Every structure is written in C-alpha cells, then in structure tokens.
Amino acid sequence: MMNISTPVKRLSLAEEVAGRIQDLIVSGKIVVDQQLPTEPELMAQYGVGRSSIREAIKVLVNRGFLKVQQGLGTFVISQSGSGEPLTTLLQRADFEDLNEVRLILEVKIAEKAAMLRSQKDVEKMKGFLKKRYEYAVANNLEACIQADINFHKSIADAARNEVMIDLYASVADMLKKSFVLRYGTTKTFVDTQHLHDALLQAIIDKDPKKAWSCATRITTHGK
C-alpha cells in the first residue's frame, strides 16, 4: 500500500486533506497518471471519515489535479492544476450565465434520467414534486424553490453522471437566493406544475425524447 501522508490532527477538515495531497502532487511525490489509494486507505492514512475524503477529492478535481474514473479509481491528471477552482468561478459568475448553464444541464439530465432511472429514483422525484406543488399553492416561495431544486437534483441523480450531478447541484444552490428575489411569489411555479408533471411521466415511461421535449418546455417557459 502506498503511504502518502501522516494522519491529520483536526479530523473534519477536508480542505487540509486536499492541501496535503495537493502538496504531494505539486512536489512530484505523487506523479501524473498515478492512482490514489482507495477511500478506506486514505481514511486510515489521514485519520478522517469517508465524507472528508470525498470532499477533499472533489476539491482537487475542481482544481484540476485529479480525475475520478468510475469503477477504476482516482488518478492524478496534472501537477499544476487548472488554475481557478470551479467553486470560485461559479461564485463570481452573474445570474444569467449561471441560469443558462442550469437550463442546458436540465435538458440533457432529463433525457438520461428517462433511460437510466430506477423505481427508487421515481419515488424520490414524486415526493419532491408533490412538495413543490403544495408549497406553490401555499405561496411558500423559499420552500417551493428548494423543493423544485430537489426535484431536479433527483432527476440528475437518476442520470448517473457524477459530473452533471455535482455541477447541477452547485449551480442550482448558488442561484437559490437570486430566485427568491426574482420571483417574489410562487405564481410561476403554479403555472409550470403541469409541465413538471409531464416531465416526471416521461421519465416514468422511460421516454427520453419526450423527457427532452418536456424539459425544453420548462426551460423556455416565459421566454
């Protein structure tokens, strides 16, 4: 087993773990194309939990140092990274750019979810969509927006693409406060409930073309 560090004293600091691994990459102690140890091995070596290791890996993926290949492992792809972290880029982006990325993602996510969804995925979608409607009728804007985000996140989960899942979640969560200020009431959510119902049905029916069409109608509503 590769021994790449001593345990971290403060157990919950994923950023510290990321910094330790990044230092090893930059110094050449871990080289490009080299595979990192498994999660359990990293947990033991750094003395932290699984969630801290996963968050540290995400940080380094966003910085351009690592790439996660499903079924194979995590590999070093650069000794210098890609410069600005994705989270920083998203934080300084304006509303229109972020929202455009969100809308583009939703269409492709819907198509893939219709092909790959499980029954468990469908039940999660139904639950969030039901809450979306209940909060919309009650004009509980913030709760309605969160239920809407959760609904689309559950579709992203069903699409089985880790990059799209993380990117969609990051963009949508960053837009939440802007949505509250822009909408004011839940009228838009009431007006588009039937479109979301149709999207869910297309996913249930495993009809990717219809799911794409429904998602497009949602993303272009009011334009």
Report the pLDDT averaged over residues 162-179.
89
- In angstroms, how far is CA 104 from the centroid of its own chain? 14
Mean pLDDT (the chain) is 90
pLDDT at 70: 82
What three-state secondary structure class fits 118?
Answer: coil
Q: Are 5 and 46 in contact (CB under 8 A)?
A: yes
Going by pLDDT thresholds of 50, 70 and 90, the confidence category of residue 212 is very high
Q: Are 208 and 199 in contact (CB under 8 A)?
A: no
For residue 8, pLDDT beyond 50: no
Report the chain's C-alpha Rg in angstroms.
20
In tens, the pLDDT along 112-170 reads 999 999 999 999 999 999 999 999 999 999 999 999 999 999 999 999 998 899 899 98
Q: Are 36 and 73 in contact (CB under 8 A)?
A: yes
Going by pLDDT thresholds of 50, 70 and 90, the confidence category of residue 55 is very high
Residues contacting residue 166 through CB under 8 Å, at least 6 positions apart: 58
For residue 93, pLDDT beyond 60: yes
**Measured distance CA(199)–CA(212) in Å, rounded:** 8
Residues contacting residue 181 through CB under 8 Å, at least 6 positions apart: none
What three-state secondary structure class fits 144?
Answer: helix
**Measured distance CA(169)–CA(173) in Å, rounded:** 6
Work out the angle at residue 115's Cα, subtended by the Cα atoms of residues 189 and 125, and round it to the nearest 5 degrees: 35
**Residue 69: strand pairing partners:** 73
For 155, what's the count of Cα atoms within 13 Å in the CB-facing half-sphere?
31
For tokens 């009809």, what's the residue?
207
Q: Are 60 and 66 in contact (CB under 8 A)?
A: yes
Q: How many CB atoms lie within 10 A of CB 14?
A: 20
Q: How many CB atoms lie within 10 A of CB 166?
A: 15
Q: What is the DSSP letter of 35?
A: B
Q: Per this entry, what is the length of the chain?
A: 223
